[in-house]
Structure 1
Amino acid sequence: MALILFNKPYGVLCQFTDESTGPKRPTLADYIKRPGVYPAGRLDLDSEGLLLLTDDGQLQARIANPRYKTPKTYLTQVEGDPQPGALESLRRGVKLKDGMTLPAEVKRIDPPADLWPRDPPVRFRKSVPDCWLQLTIREGRNRQVRRMTAAVGLPTLRLIRWQIADWTLDGIAPGEWREI
């Protein structure tokens, strides 16, 4: 069984081919030259961080299927200064167009000191504060973290998945991967 921990850079598709008719975008094939592995879950084009790939279909389903409630932890830079009520809403679950989310674990954190710069950089506005949150969810709806933070008045500026279950990005630079 193969399990690969990949630090997906911003702007990379979570698939091995780009079927769009426009300009070709970077894909997993540009980084991972290991046949027979497939992503267990997805990250949006504009999200970064931990993506697990495996050749084990059962493990892939266990990681990606929401019924297993695998915890996924994100570091998210949000626009605004979160008030206790906004964070409490995330902890209780947020009503989205596709229904209530499960409760999230959330806390405000200091800006991560050893985080790589994003290319392109996040837009900075002197008149609008921003901060970092650590958010753990146990679902995997489409753009869920971004929709949850927006629903409580804190639009996401940068989103990095740091951990899935016990696997983390520790020691893996953007575009790099490690097989375990």
Structure 2
Amino acid sequence: MFKYVLFYKPYGVLCQFTQDTPERQTLKDYIDIPNIYPVGRLDWDSEGLVLLTDNGKLQHRLSDPKFGHQRTYWVQVERVPDAAAIEKLTKGVDIQNYRTKPAKVSLLPEEPNLPERNPPIRFRKNVPTAWLELVLTEGKNRQVRRMTAAVGFPTLRLVRLKIGKLTLDSLKLGTFRELDMNEIASLTHQKSEL
């Protein structure tokens, strides 16, 4: 029987089980289930939902861009993006000799209810910030950060909220839980809706 685990990764945790330096935390500091691996990654400086499994076929299917499963992010950016910047993000932007696929992008009306980040983001009294929701169907290295920078609004904080239909919901920062049968079934049947 395969294992499927959802983890709410804190800022500053490497999305791997092996430790490259003694001062950096890894998944091993939080999850004590053997032989499971992250499906895709979240950068050290990103937070949010990570799916782990020992099902290699599903891992490949969810990681391969050709299958286009959705990932939803809340992104705090420097300054408030205008309609032109949001339209560029929606249509796709050029990052490192690559054009991103179309995405769903919206400006959140207020700051989302998230745990405080440790350490907090840098605060500049004269520079406002805003929150975006981005729904992508691909996951290139540091893609969200590169996308917002490409349209002139650097990312300050990045939180993955959803993977397909799976959400952070009741998970607390730094905790994990196993998926139920309905959630496992949703992973094997999801398709892109962008």
Q: TM-score range by the shorter chain?
A: over 0.9
| Alpha-carbon distance between aligned partners in 2 of 1:156 and 1:14, rounded to the nearest angstrom | 20
How far apart are 1:64 and its partner, in Å?
1.2
RMSD: 0.9
Q: Which runs of 5+ in 2 are unaligned?
A: 180-194
Q: Which runs of 5+ in 1 are unaligned?
A: none
1:73-92 correspondence runs (5 A): 73-92=72-91
Q: Match of 1:11?
A: 12
| Alpha-carbon distance between aligned partners in 1 of 2:18 and 2:79, rounded to the nearest angstrom | 37
Q: Are 1:117 and 2:144 an aligned pair? A: no
Q: Which amino acid aligns with 2:34?
A: P
Give the percent of matched residue pairs that are identical in Structure 1 and Structure 2. 54
1:20-39 correspondence runs (5 A): 20=21, 23-39=22-38
| Alpha-carbon distance between aligned partners in 1 of 2:115 and 2:158, rounded to the nearest angstrom | 13
| Alpha-carbon distance between aligned partners in 2 of 1:177 and 1:125, rounded to the nearest angstrom | 34
How far apart are 1:44 and its partner, in Å?
0.3
Paired positions, count? 177
TM-score, normalised via structure 1 length? 0.96
| Alpha-carbon distance between aligned partners in 2 of 1:103 and 1:66, rounded to the nearest angstrom | 13
Q: Match of 1:151?
A: 150
Corresponding residue SS for 2:121: coil
Q: Deviations over 1:89-147 (max 9, x none)?
A: 001100111310001100000201x3100000011111001000000111110000000
Q: Which amino acid aligns with 2:44?
A: L
| Alpha-carbon distance between aligned partners in 2 of 1:98 and 1:166, rounded to the nearest angstrom | 31
| Alpha-carbon distance between aligned partners in 2 of 1:31 and 1:98, rounded to the nearest angstrom | 37
TM-score, normalised via structure 2 length? 0.89
